[in-house]
Chain A
Amino acid sequence: MLDAPLIGSYRPDDVLAWESDGPRSAREFLSAVITLADGLPDRPSVLNLLTSRYEFLVGFAAAMLRRQVTLLPQSRAPETLRRIAVDQESCYCLTDRGEPVHDIPAVVLPARRGSVRPWNIPRIPLHQHVAIAFTSGSTGQPTPNLKTWDALVSVARATAKRLGVNAAGVKGVVATVPHQHMFGLEASVMLPVQQGLTMHAGRPLFPEDIRAALTESPERSLLVTTPLHLRACLLAGVRLPPIGMILSATSTLTSALAREAEQRFHAPVHEIFGFAEAGSVASRRTVTDGDWRMLDGVALARNGSHASIQAPYLPCPVPIPDRIAVTGRATFRVLGRAEDQVNIAGHRASLGDLTRQLLEVEGVHDGVFILPDGKEGSLSRLMALVVAPGKTQEDIQHALRRRLNPVFLPRPLLLLPRLPRNETGKLPREALRQLMERWKDESSHDV
């Protein structure tokens, strides 16, 4: 098999997506893709910033037909987009907001409805490079992770098989996660479209939005979400329509929350383990499994104390950013995050890289990002200690906002006359801990 179809086995009039104004059939989708592909600029890569999951998919598919690579930025922070644009010269962007992105030529969607009435599902070569997922690198420059069509199709099929999507009679997918995020692309775009399901184009945020999106979708849809959204749905007391199954990722779900969700929504809750560099690699049903089970076709390789992921679609083994213990032939347990790595609401970053970006802010003489010890189940935010004489907290937050994904913005940001560095210039953990204790007492705030 050297290629794979753009979409799964839909009939022409099957509903491929549910847009804000109603259904889009598979035929309408193909027509929109072919029409858009004809009109795209002749450039090698495209920054797809489209808000609607359906429009995003149309843009992604059209780019693939033109053999263009879709760039998936880790955030929309202007400085992140600027750095990607500088790095990927001669890219253009697809946008629906008319927002200017650092001198990049823009194509504004929605495009004209296609007038062609095709019914040939295009096939894409498996080895074709179709996307680049950016992660925050240790150098300050976003690190590109190249994805082949093979990688995306393989993960979508393996995930659907593991969850038993077809056996459970799931016909639709609703997702609260962004489609530009690797997990979102795999689980909320590739999975439904490869399986011939109806993909909801929205990105519901509030529990009431999630209820509305599920109501518009086929009964017993798959809900692709995060622990934060699940918790909100449980605590806000909304009544959701029947759900087929729930798939959560981006941060660890506690078994208590998973159990409550299974009982309230009468649906199995599965979790995905993955990271942008390798994509989804393992899953578990949280209430019954402590261990993660590798998806079909994915293998673990150990190299001393480090573990890597191997798969036929990955050109070389990819190191796992967490510390893990192998518990069986295809199972493992997560012990904790690797030193220096943080995961805030599904976005990973290295504290070292965040600190470097802080130090690049004008007027900052010294500074450090730290992750306070968080309570289980609640979202931990980062904290920053900054030495910047003459600058205010607002000045620095404003500068950081231009550079960082908002989830990493420090809360709080403390201005200090100096940091407790030792003779070698290092910041001893104990000194930082004492500093934070003192701050907690003074502000009587719980960090």
Chain B
Amino acid sequence: MTSQQLSPFELEIAKLIVEALKLKADPSSIEPEAVLFGDGLGLDSIDALELSLAIAQTYGYQLKSSDPEIKATFSSLRALARAIELHRTK
């Protein structure tokens, strides 16, 4: 899937990111495949912690650094949405 269009669930996660991190961005403008951390949206480890909290509270998915997939999970909006869909408990 290489579409630049956000799926409804991706848009939901984009809204969660913008809200949790108080970003000044339009959720629908986040590119689904663009990197979230580093030079993309410019997020850092404090954001990762905030974001993990919002994900745990909303979807019941507790992120783990020891998870071999963690780097991939945080690589883009699309990857994050896919991981949440897979692991959500609520």
B positions within 8 Å CB-CB of A: 22-24, 39, 42, 44-46, 48-50, 52-53, 56-57, 62-66
Instruction: Please give me the residue from chain B that is nearest to A413 by CB atom.
Output: B24
Interface residues as binary, A234-246 with B (CB distance below 8 Å gives 1, 0 otherwise): 0111100000000
**Which residues of B are found within 8 Å of A445, using beta-carbon distances?**
22, 24
Q: Chain A: which residue is nearest B21 at the CB level? A: A411
Indicate if the CB atoms of B53 and A236 lie closer than 8 Å.
Answer: yes
State how many angstroms separate the Cβ of A205 from the closest Cβ of chain B: 6
Residues on B with C-beta less than 8 A from A238 are 62
- A212–B63 Cα distance when bound, in Å, is 12
Residue contact B24 to A412, C-beta cutoff 8 Å: yes
Give which listed residue, A209, A345, A406, contacts B64 with CB less than 8 A. A209
Closest chain A residue to B53, Cβ basis = A232
Bound-state Cα–Cα, A229 to B42, Å: 21
Judge whether A303 is part of the interface by a CB distance below 8 angstroms: no
Interface centre among B45, B46, B63 (most CB of A within 10 A): B46
Instruction: Please give 15 more A-B residue pairs, beta carbons under 8 A apart, in addition to A212-B66, A381-B22, A406-B44.
Output: A204-B65, A205-B45, A206-B49, A206-B64, A207-B52, A207-B56, A208-B63, A209-B66, A232-B49, A235-B57, A379-B46, A397-B42, A401-B42, A407-B46, A445-B24
A409 near B: Cβ within 8 Å? yes
Binding site for B on A (CB under 8 A): 204-209, 212, 228-229, 231-232, 235-238, 345, 379, 381, 397-398, 401, 406-407, 409, 411-412, 443, 445-447
28 contacts between A and B (CB under 8 A): A205-B49, A206-B48, A206-B52, A206-B62, A208-B63, A209-B64, A209-B66, A212-B66, A228-B46, A231-B53, A232-B52, A235-B53, A236-B53, A236-B62, A238-B62, A345-B46, A397-B42, A398-B39, A401-B39, A407-B44, A407-B46, A409-B44, A411-B22, A411-B24, A411-B42, A445-B24, A446-B22, A447-B22
Say how far B27's CB is from chain A's closest CB, in angstroms.
Answer: 13
Residues of B within 8 A of A397 (CB): 42
CA distance A207 to B48 in the complex (A): 11
* A-B residue pairs, 3 tightest by C-beta: A236-B56, A412-B24, A406-B44
Minimal beta-carbon separation of B63 from chain A (angstroms): 5
Contacts of B52 in A (CB 8 A): 205-207, 232, 236
By secondary structure, the B interface counts as loop
Complex: chain B residue closest to A397, CB-CB: B42
Bound CA–CA A445/B62 (angstroms): 28
Contact A205 B48 (CB under 8 A): yes
How distant is the Cα of A379 from the Cα of B65 in the complex, in angstroms?
22
Contact of A411 among B23, B39, B56, B66 (CB under 8 A): B23
A204: chain B residues within 8 A (beta carbon)? 65
CB pair A409–B46 under 8 Å, yes or no, is no
| A447, B24: Cα distance in complex, Å | 9
Residues of A within 8 A of B39 (CB): 398, 401
Q: Which residues of A contact B57 (CB under 8 A)?
A: 235-236
Question: Given A397-B42, A445-B24, A446-B22 in contact, is the A208-B49 Cβ separation under 8 Å?
Answer: no
Provide the bound-state CA to CA distance between A411 and B44, in Å: 12
Q: State the Cβ distance, B49 to closest chain A Cβ, in Å.
A: 5
A262 to B65, CA, bound (A): 26
Residues of B within 8 A of A206 (CB): 48-49, 52, 62-65
Please indicate the chain A residues that have their CB under 8 angstroms from the CB of B48 in the complex. Answer: 205-206
Chain A residue numbers with a CB within 8 Å of B56 are 207, 235-237
- Specify which chain B residues have a CB less than 8 angstroms from the CB of A381 in the assembled complex: 22
